[in-house]
Structure 1
Amino acid sequence: MTAPKRVVHLTTVHHPYDPRIYHKECLSLYNAGLDVTLIAQVDTETAQDKPIKHIPVKTYTSRFKRMIFGTIEAYKKAKTLDADVYHFHDPELLPAAWLLKRKNNVVIYDIHEDYVTSIMQKEYMSTPVKKVIASTYKYMEKFFSREMELCLAEKYYKDIYPRGKCILNYPTINENFINHNRNDAPLEDKLLYTGNVSHVRGALIHAKIPLIDESVSVHFVGKCPSDLADEMYAVAGNKKDNLEIEGIDRFIEKEDMEARYLSRNWLAGIALFPPTEHYMKKELTKFFEYMNAGLPIICSNFPVWKEFVETYECGIAVDPYDESEIKQAIEYLRNNQDVAKRMGENGRKAVMKYLNWHTEENKLITWYDQLTNQSMQKDRAE
């Protein structure tokens, strides 16, 4: 009997139970019969009863130390495993992945972000510094990834990486969401935001919502730096009690986040981001997660986002800087709950039919088979 192909996923940046890396890609490959190992940071918060083998690397608070020492440690541990496939998830691991590439193995660079525009929107760096770093990254990426396969988490990345393979970050279908009937009770004056909380993801716009509509509370479920949480409470002023921030300085596990969707009869899921080149063309993962849970979406009116919610009839797009438009959208859903519930159901049906991880899982497994078979054929030919 042939031994299962050995696969190693590497990340020094993401949480070891990151939804895309662990819950989607690693578990899908494991369930398909592959021998899967994850090299990632030490987990200090979650019970260690997971099926995927986890080899920990040290967690650094210093970004510079992580990029140097974390990369070296990940490389050394990955090399000892002599894998058929190395699948890595962070730009800083490019040199290590380049060293791991051999003629008879496969190395995959999983591109989660448009890293050039991501660098250019970093608030803690000056514009000249950002330009130098972005230019250097583009050169390094081109050099190191020449013999690697590229895995793209977002459709528009294909414009940047024409040879890349799209394995989109659609949600896993949650049976609890399917069985959750939102028609049984009135919707509450509560808005939900899930995922990491940051300035560029609209934290301060969202924090202002209780001042725009005083009957509404906003609940954040995702990692939020404590200094940003303080800033958000300050923005909300005398309505700060209408903000609930769960995840201050800590990661929220996928299962816990999904439980929050079912904990209330939310009015809508929100994504009122300020306009940045990095996000304006993205179909946000949180869109699919809101839709999966049957929530209508209130989002910024970027052309791609507006077209998305209108195509699936699952939400309302507004100017994120126009308080009257935001208020009108909230009032419309509150006063037309049958419409709000129908929008949520439209979104859920779209996820069930088209926008789900099952379709991407099949693509991932088929792609792995093709790549490893090609690698074996090359090895035999030599």
Structure 2
Amino acid sequence: MTAPKRVVQLTTVHHPTDPRIYHKESKSLKKAGFDVTLIAQTNENDNIQDKPIRHIPLKKYNSRIKRMTIGIYDAYKKAKYLKADVYHFHDPELLPVGWLLKRKDNVVIYDIHEDYTTSILQKDYASMPMKKLLAKFYKWMERFFARDAALCLAEKYYKDIYPTGVCILNYPMTNDKFLNSKREGPAEYKLLYTGNVTLERGAMEHARIPLLDEDIEVHIVGKCPSSIAEKMYQAAGDNKERLLIEGIDQFIEKEVIESHYLNTNWLAGIALFPPTEHYMKKELTKFFEYMNAGLPIICSNFPEWEKFMETYECGIAVDPYDDEAVKEAISYLRNNPEEARRMGENGKRAVKEELNWGTEEEKLIAWYNELLGQATRKQEGIDA
């Protein structure tokens, strides 16, 4: 009996139960018969050892320099020791590690979660000339170290940047609890945002919503740095009691977020991001999660986002800086509950029939088998 192919998922940045890395890719590969190991940072309070995927912990460093030097070297040593058939890494800082791990008889995959060039340009840790220099350095590093790696793309538009990459899109796993749930009765006057909280992801735009309506509540569920939470509370002013943030300086597990979707009859899911090149073309993962849960969406009116809302008839796109337009969108959903319910059901149907991880899982497994077959044929040719 042939031993299962060994796969190592490797990250020095993401949480060990990151939805894409752990819940989608790793679990799907294990279900398909691969021997999967995850190498990732771990906090003392992370309950990871009793999870179904074997986990090798990396020390968590508060210093970015230590993480990108000592941490990366530690990740390389632990990954190399496993002598895997496939190394699947998820962070640009691991590009040199992927290059070092590549052998003639194995597969190395670089999973591109972000458009890192535009991501670097929108960071606030350096001046614009320095950020442009860093972006150019990243592109050089990527071209050099990823030349023998297979590219896994989480977004459709990344194909324009990486034409040889394969799209394994970050669609949600269908959830029977969500699909079988019904939005009955009037929705509560509450809006929900899930996921990491940053200024680029609309932290201040969401924080201002309680100022627009004296009754609305805004619930934020996701990791939020305390410095940003403080700015959000300041922006909400005297209405900050209607801005509820869960996840200040802590990661929120997928299961906790899902419980929030189910425990409240939300008016809508929100994604009022300020315009940045980094997000304007992205189909946000949270869109699919809101749709999966049957929530109508209120989002920014970027052309791609507005087109998405119109295609699936699942929400309303507005100018995130136009307070009156945001207020009108909220009022419309409140005053037209049947239309809000229809939008939610449209989104749920789209996820069930088209925009779900099941379709991407099949692509992932087929692609793995293809890559391993290519590696085997290449090795046999060399050995011959």
TM-score, structure 1 as length reference? 0.99
Write the distance in 1 (CA, Å) between the matches of 2:44 and 2:149. 32
Q: Hey, what does 1:89 align to over in structure 2?
A: 90
Contact 1:297–1:315, Cα closer than 8 Å, also in 2: yes
Where does 1:1-382 land on structure 2 (aligned, <5 Å)? Answer: 1-47=1-47, 48-182=49-183, 184-382=184-382
User: CA offset at residue 43 of structure 1?
Assistant: 3.9
Structure 1 stretches of 4+ moved >4 Å: none
Amino acid at match of 1:368: Y
Write the distance in 2 (CA, Å) between the matches of 1:133 and 1:302. 27
Write the distance in 2 (CA, Å) between the matches of 1:237 and 1:68. 42
User: CA offset at residue 143 of structure 1?
Assistant: 0.4
Contact 1:173–1:292, Cα closer than 8 Å, also in 2: yes
SS in 1 for 2:15: coil
Write the distance in 1 (CA, Å) between the matches of 2:178 and 2:69. 42
User: CA offset at residue 315 of structure 1?
Assistant: 0.1
Write the distance in 1 (CA, Å) between the matches of 2:334 and 2:173. 29
SS in 2 for 1:199: coil
Write the distance in 2 (CA, Å) between the matches of 1:72 and 1:161. 27
CA RMSD of aligned residues (A): 0.6
Q: Gaps (5+ residues) in structure 2? A: none
Amino acid at match of 1:369: N
User: CA offset at residue 49 of structure 1?
Assistant: 1.8
User: CA offset at residue 263 of structure 1?
Assistant: 1.1
Write the distance in 1 (CA, Å) between the matches of 2:125 and 2:322. 27
Write the distance in 1 (CA, Å) between the matches of 2:213 and 2:313. 24
Write the distance in 2 (CA, Å) between the matches of 1:39 and 1:288. 27
Write the distance in 1 (CA, Å) between the matches of 2:325 and 2:46. 41
Provide Cα deviations, 1:101-151, integer angstroms capped at 9, x if missing partner. 011000000000000000000012110110110000000000000110000
Write the distance in 2 (CA, Å) between the matches of 1:362 and 1:274. 35
User: CA offset at residue 179 of structure 1?
Assistant: 1.6
Provide Cα deviations, 1:322-373, integer angstroms capped at 9, x if missing partner. 0000000000000000000100000000000000000000000000000001
Write the distance in 1 (CA, Å) between the matches of 2:316 and 2:71. 43
Write the distance in 2 (CA, Å) between the matches of 1:286 and 1:42. 25
Contact 2:43–2:60, Cα closer than 8 Å, also in 1: no
Amino acid at match of 1:154: E
User: CA offset at residue 213 of structure 1?
Assistant: 1.4
Write the distance in 2 (CA, Å) between the matches of 1:4 and 1:302. 45
Q: Gaps (5+ residues) in structure 1? A: none
User: CA offset at residue 44 of structure 1?
Assistant: 3.1
Provide Cα deviations, 1:258-309, integer angstroms capped at 9, x if missing partner. 1100110000000000000000000000000000000000000000000001
The alignment-based identity, stated in percent, is 69
Contact 1:16–1:43, Cα closer than 8 Å, also in 2: no
SS in 2 for 1:204: helix
User: CA offset at residue 97 of structure 1?
Assistant: 0.7
Write the distance in 2 (CA, Å) between the matches of 1:329 and 1:313. 14
User: CA offset at residue 45 of structure 1?
Assistant: 3.2
User: CA offset at residue 377 of structure 1?
Assistant: 1.0
SS in 2 for 1:80: helix
Contact 2:316–2:329, Cα closer than 8 Å, also in 1: yes
User: CA offset at residue 178 of structure 1?
Assistant: 1.2
Write the distance in 1 (CA, Å) between the matches of 2:355 and 2:199. 28
User: CA offset at residue 59 of structure 1?
Assistant: 0.5
Write the distance in 1 (CA, Å) between the matches of 2:63 and 2:80. 25
Write the distance in 2 (CA, Å) between the matches of 1:59 and 1:137. 24
